[in-house]
């Protein structure tokens, strides 16, 4: 299910504080939900629907885990039963949303939440209908624009995504997630962005990176955001390895645990290899001990060893011809390259 529902219900259940619910949801999704008025029957009914949605999610996750364990033990008969149970469970939640909106068709937050439910359960057309209704009911609500932009980014036209993310930013320029989403769209759909914004390819990269930096400014502790930004430097044309090295160095400072830190070490090793900083690359690789990264560590280590060997070969003095004949050094492996042009991993 969506961050909206999971975050909202987690905050509600753990704190029982309406203000905490509102703040948490705004932080995670950019959807500003007003503090609930517990004396308002409609709001109480709305939260009951959200609780039902959250309970269904928990049940489905538990059922899936149980069936997966059963299948691993050698059984397979429960798969069809599981699908039927999930469909039935989700249909019950869908009916609760439908019934609530029949009674309260102007409830913007319910339409936003229902849209998230529909999108998460494989009905993007239904989600778009709910989010369009929310946008028309509350054209100043940035969440509706952002959610619709997400759909346009997936199914097109992409230019609508650019426009709708920009509108969300206009309505709430202090929300990091809107800049992040637009940065991703500009970076992924560079050809469309070039035409839409009338920019060169180089300028499109600059625009995407500037949007990332604005998002980071507003959410300086978001490791996923930092990582997303740092990944971009692999795709710039030409690659900006030194800027990428700095971006991953900055990401390392806010890594939350050893798994995240070692993931950054992998990237730092790779970029140092690209820059010809072989000792630094080796140091970073030596710091990676988690089995999660064993395969990619092995690949980068192999490439590093090859790059060092190539560098040594290129630096060797030429052989002196004997008896007037030319000594021809045996060629290296087919396709071998200099360290500064080793292929990305």
Judge whether 234 and 191 are in contact, CB under 8 Å. no
166 vs 149: CA distance, rounded Å:
9
By percentage, how much of the chain surpasses pLDDT 70?
76
Mean pLDDT of the chain, nearest integer: 82
Nearest-angstrom CA–CA distance, 56 and 58? 5
59-73 as b/e: b if 16+ CB within 10 A: ebeebeeebeeeeee
- 85 pLDDT band, cuts 50/70/90, is confident
Task: Output the pTM of the full model.
Answer: 0.76
* pLDDT of amino acid 237: 87
The yes-or-no verdict on residue 161 having pLDDT over 60 is: yes
Query: Which of 229, 276, 235 is CA-nearest to residue 249?
Result: 229
Cα(340)–Cα(184) distance, integer angstroms? 28
Q: How far, in Å, CA of 278 to CA of 337, rounded?
A: 15
Q: Provide the pLDDT confidence category of residue 340 given band limits of 50, 70 and 90.
A: very low
Asked if residue 204 lies in contact with residue 195, where contact means CB atoms within 8 angstroms, the answer is no
What percent of the chain clears pLDDT 90, i.e. is strictly above it?
63
- Mean pLDDT for the stretch of residues 232-247: 94
Cβ proximity of 30 and 146 under 8 Å: yes
Summarised one tens digit per residue, pLDDT across range 10-69 is: 433 333 334 443 443 344 334 444 445 567 888 889 988 988 888 888 888 888 776 565
How many whole angstroms from its chain centre is CA 199?
A: 25
pLDDT value at 255 more than 80: yes
What are the structural domain ranges in the chain? 1-138
In tens, the pLDDT along 281-339 reads 999 999 999 999 999 999 999 999 999 999 988 866 655 555 444 333 333 333 333 33
Is residue 147 within 8 A of residue 116, CB to CB? The reply is yes
**pLDDT of res. 78:** 59
Place of tokens 């290899």: 273
Confidence band, pLDDT 50/70/90 cuts, at residue 341 = very low
3-state secondary structure the chain: CCHHHHHHHHHHHHHCCHHHHHHHHHHHHCCCCCCCCCCCHHHHHHHHHHHHHHHHHHHHHHHHHHHHHHHHCCCCCHHHHHHHHHHHHHHHHHHHHHHHHHHCCCCHHHHHHHHHHHHHCCCHHHHHHHHHHHHHHCCCCHHHHHHHHHHHHHHCCHHHHHHHHHHHHHHCCCCHHHHHHHHHHHHHCHHHHHHHHCCCHHHHHHHHHHHHHHHHHHCCCCHHHHHHHHHHHHCCCCCCHHHHHHHHHHHHHCCCCHHHHHHHHHHHHHHHHHHCCHHHHHHHHHCCCCHHHHHHHHHHHHHHHHHHHHHHHHHCCCCCCECCECCCCCCCCCCCCCHHHCCCC
């Amino acid at each position: 299910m969506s961050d909206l529902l999971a975050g909202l219900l987690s905050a509600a259940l753990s704190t029982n504080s309406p203000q905490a619910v509102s703040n948490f949801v705004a932080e995670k999704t950019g959807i500003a939900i007003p503090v609930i008025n517990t004396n308002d029957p409609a709001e109480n009914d709305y939260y009951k629907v959200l609780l039902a949605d959250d309970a269904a999610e928990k049940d489905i996750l538990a059922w899936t885990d149980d069936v997966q364990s059963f299948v691993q033990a050698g059984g397979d008969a429960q798969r069809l039963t599981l699908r039927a149970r999930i469909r039935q469970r989700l249909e019950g939640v869908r009916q609760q949303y439908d019934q609530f909106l029949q009674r309260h068709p102007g409830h913007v937050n319910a339409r936003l939440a229902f849209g998230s439910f529909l999108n998460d359960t494989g009905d993007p057309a239904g989600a778009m209908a709910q989010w369009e209704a929310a946008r028309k009911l509350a054209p100043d609500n940035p969440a509706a624009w952002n959610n619709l932009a997400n759909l346009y980014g997936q199914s097109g036209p992409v230019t609508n995504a650019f426009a709708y993310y920009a509108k969300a930013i206009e309505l709430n320029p202090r929300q990091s997630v809107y800049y992040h989403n637009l940065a991703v769209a500009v970076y992924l759909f560079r050809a469309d962005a070039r035409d839409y914004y009338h920019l060169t390819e180089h300028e499109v990269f600059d625009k995407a990176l500037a949007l990332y930096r604005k998002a980071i400014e507003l959410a300086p502790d978001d490791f996923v955001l930092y990582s997303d930004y740092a990944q971009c430097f692999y795709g710039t044309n030409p690659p900006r390895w030194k800027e990428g090295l700095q971006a991953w160095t900055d990401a390392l400072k806010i890594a939350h645990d050893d798994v995240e830190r070692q993931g950054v070490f992998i990237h730092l090793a790779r970029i140092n290899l690209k820059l010809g900083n072989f000792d630094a690359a080796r140091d970073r690789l030596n710091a990676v001990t988690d089995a999660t990264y064993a395969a990619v560590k092995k690949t980068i280590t192999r490439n590093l060893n090859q790059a060092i060997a190539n560098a040594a070969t290129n630096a060797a003095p030429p052989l002196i011809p004997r008896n007037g004949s030319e000594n021809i050094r045996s060629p290296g492996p087919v396709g071998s390259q200099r360290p500064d042009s080793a292929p990305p991993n």
